[in-house]
Structure 1
């Protein structure tokens, strides 16, 4: 597997890729879908094996099928484009370069779940993306692809681009719903689940932006086409985001199951003169991997079997010049800052993780502090309302597992061994 599969990224090199002309079509997939039975669309997506591209990997068609029918309530589609996790950087360039794929996907998805209102919730800080997405939505309205009687089918859809609250927690689907309703973004206690009582207490489907943008290609080319890529249980393609100490960082759209070694070959390898030390397979909320995991297939099952999560396929690459303790501290500072404070384990636990890690990074800690941070992480894991708390513990457990000696070196020399001002250089003690 050495070739890329450009579908969502096929037109990114066009200067006008974000326009309807640059998109290269007249929403043919949506036209086709609106002539189908909604249940047939759901079945097609199930047969294709599309799994959520936002991190959890839940089967998309199955999620659509949870929406109750004939309940007399309005249904809603909410596209989660609140991309805020360190390292995750696929949805923002997707919306910048190819917003019409997302809009067409929203039309098909809304029709399949019998929704007449859809919302795209975008991270508030990315104003340039919001402007471009709204311009694309306006273009779709002008061409009759949104609004009343789309394509003469009798189907109506109103699509709203909503600027988010500027908080990482709003990427959690129920906190996103609270924010969309005008409240402070905090996770809701489940059940009830959004499929039954979501936006405005009505049945709601919440899908990641890449998941929705992938739908038109499945309708246009068929379930077998999509299922023919990837692995047996992780089908299709996805955008892999390579960042950090790599020669050519960027977005690489490839079948699920590709390895980091193969991606690095296409990206020119680790930056010249250096070697891989550790990396994240799915962003900062996933347990880190090391060079020994270079050949792990990047699919949901294989990554999980090796102790991490595929997540958003945000491959942050770090070479031997990086202090793993400092990197983990920076991630932990982020999670402590972004904790909404609703539940005690996350609110208090992330704060104390940050304090102890700061002491460790300065070389002022003891070996007992390693037991302390893992104990704190154990008391957060599985005990918070949402996955933010779990994500905050991932780098703690995995870094201590793979780099315990590096933590100990900080105690031995009384500082960070990667600091040029340190009295002892790592490896020469």
Structure 2
């Protein structure tokens, strides 16, 4: 693998580019000028050549998503670009760093995407708790307006109300239209009938920001970074029982254990690695042995039975109680369920109650079987992935660490006796970004 240049945080030198002059000094807005001199189809061709894939979790090819939006002469309705900045997946804190430190690169990518889908209307749906990020974006946007960089495009920064479900694209659209954030049935898909029943592209913050670099260096050059099917760099949010948690921009294909040991300083307090959640709370957990074998890219993680997800890597040391972890995760999904479909609304509560019973030492052997049965009745039967995520995550803990669940039954309580490190595991990390030009053989 060749040395990888900075992509997302290029030119920051460990700081921030929040003044427009500083951003222009490192080549800011040259990509936008290049894109606007091209046809929309040519811009999409560059994205397809780059094989840039969505950074929000689904990992769908960005250029292909844009190509699904019909041409204006096919549907006589406005086209909309909606950017999902509602970063709510536990363990994920990359988008907030992007908006705080390189807001102009993000906004430049937004205008490039709008040109590609022939849209004059951009909505940035930002998590309500991100007050500082909101203020930075608004200030950057005002600087761009003063330079007349927006052209005839309108950009609205819309603050959400703190609902995890609004990270799902159709629930986000419902919320943006002023209704309760709940998923829509599909089809129709947003590309045909999205915001205000009009053609809409919905993209993640990091995806849009990466599109700026694709246009700057060209799709073919971008495709040389990372590995096949996972091109470019990724901002990995590392947290959990590590010495140095934070955001690390690294090439796809970087070894998972090197992220933890070389970038993150290893497991804190000299403890042993027990397991890793590789892509946010909704992904299948990996044992320490499995973590030794995988690299951080789509194919490697799928081959290990999990997913790269939102690139949120949570390291767990040998004091972590897997039943307690399951309780915490299930409580989160139960709380964030929108309640629209029964398998999720009822099933997540059942999962939480059974897990809590086992953790409290009141569980029976029958509860072990019931846990599996409830998970099977959730997974694949929900309107959106929220309920599935709870069932998939919990069952991965159960399948790979079943002996711990059994020990809770046999011993009538948690065998860790209150020594689990979980109380601080999902606490907010004092985030900092490390940009790495990595050469990895």
Gaps of 5+ in 1: 151-155, 423-429
Tell me if the contact between 1:82 and 1:122 (Cα under 8 Å) persists in the aligned partners. Answer: yes
Superposed, 1:145-160 pairs within 5 Å as: 145-146=149-150, 150=151, 156-160=152-156
Map of 2:269 onto structure 1: 272
Map of 2:70 onto structure 1: 68
Map of 1:200 onto structure 2: 196
Map of 2:205 onto structure 1: 209
Is structure 2 residue 1 aligned with structure 1 residue 8? Answer: no
Moved more, 294-303 or 87-96: 294-303
Give the deviation of 1:421 after TM superposition. 8.4
Map of 1:88 onto structure 2: 92
Map of 1:328 onto structure 2: 326
Post-superposition Cα deviations, 1:4-42, rounded to whole Å, max 9, x if no partner, equal: 642212344554422223433341100111001110000
Tell me if the contact between 2:52 and 2:62 (Cα under 8 Å) persists in the aligned partners. Answer: yes
Distance 2:294 2:251 in 1: 14
Is structure 2 residue 379 aligned with structure 1 residue 375? Answer: no
Map of 1:229 onto structure 2: 225
Map of 1:35 onto structure 2: 37
1:348–1:37 Cα change, 3 Å: same
Give the deviation of 1:304 after TM superposition. 1.2
Is structure 2 residue 61 aligned with structure 1 residue 59? Answer: yes
Distance 2:296 2:314 in 1: 14
Tell me if the contact between 1:122 and 1:164 (Cα under 8 Å) persists in the aligned partners. Answer: yes
Map of 2:19 onto structure 1: 19
Distance 1:7 1:397 in 2: 36
Give the deviation of 1:3 after TM superposition. 6.3
- Superposition CA RMSD, Å: 1.6
Tell me if the contact between 1:288 and 1:394 (Cα under 8 Å) persists in the aligned partners. Answer: no
Give the deviation of 1:268 after TM superposition. 1.4
Q: Which has the higher contact order (CA 8 A, sep 6+)?
A: 2
Distance 1:317 1:421 in 2: 17
Moved more, 335-344 or 285-294: 285-294
Distance 1:406 1:135 in 2: 51
Tell me if the contact between 1:370 and 1:400 (Cα under 8 Å) persists in the aligned partners. Answer: no
Superposed, 1:102-117 pairs within 5 Å as: 102-117=106-121
Map of 1:340 onto structure 2: 338
Tell me if the contact between 2:319 and 2:419 (Cα under 8 Å) persists in the aligned partners. Answer: no
Q: TM-score, normalised by structure 2?
A: 0.91
Map of 2:425 onto structure 1: none
Give the deviation of 1:45 after TM superposition. 0.1
Moved more, 21-30 or 183-192: 21-30
Distance 1:286 1:140 in 2: 38
1:420–1:170 Cα change, 3 Å: closer
Map of 2:287 onto structure 1: 290
Map of 2:252 onto structure 1: 256
Post-superposition Cα deviations, 1:50-92, rounded to whole Å, max 9, x if no partner, equal: 1110001111100100011112211000000100111111111
Tell me if the contact between 1:45 and 1:215 (Cα under 8 Å) persists in the aligned partners. Answer: yes
Distance 2:272 2:419 in 1: 23
Tell me if the contact between 1:81 and 1:121 (Cα under 8 Å) persists in the aligned partners. Answer: yes
Map of 2:400 onto structure 1: 402
Tell me if the contact between 1:325 and 1:361 (Cα under 8 Å) persists in the aligned partners. Answer: yes
1:225–1:200 Cα change, 3 Å: same
Gaps of 5+ in 2: 421-441
Post-superposition Cα deviations, 1:128-171, rounded to whole Å, max 9, x if no partner, equal: 1111111111111111111xxx3xxxxx2111100012100000
Moved more, 200-209 or 358-367: 358-367
Distance 1:359 1:171 in 2: 30
Distance 1:75 1:420 in 2: 54
Q: TM-score, normalised by structure 1?
A: 0.93
Give the deviation of 1:247 after TM superposition. 1.3
Tell me if the contact between 1:374 and 1:396 (Cα under 8 Å) persists in the aligned partners. Answer: no
Post-superposition Cα deviations, 1:280-304, rounded to whole Å, max 9, x if no partner, equal: 1100000111111222122112211
Tell me if the contact between 2:124 and 2:157 (Cα under 8 Å) persists in the aligned partners. Answer: yes
- Number of aligned positions between the proteins: 414
Q: Secondary structure at the match of 2:10?
A: coil
Give the deviation of 1:322 after TM superposition. 1.1
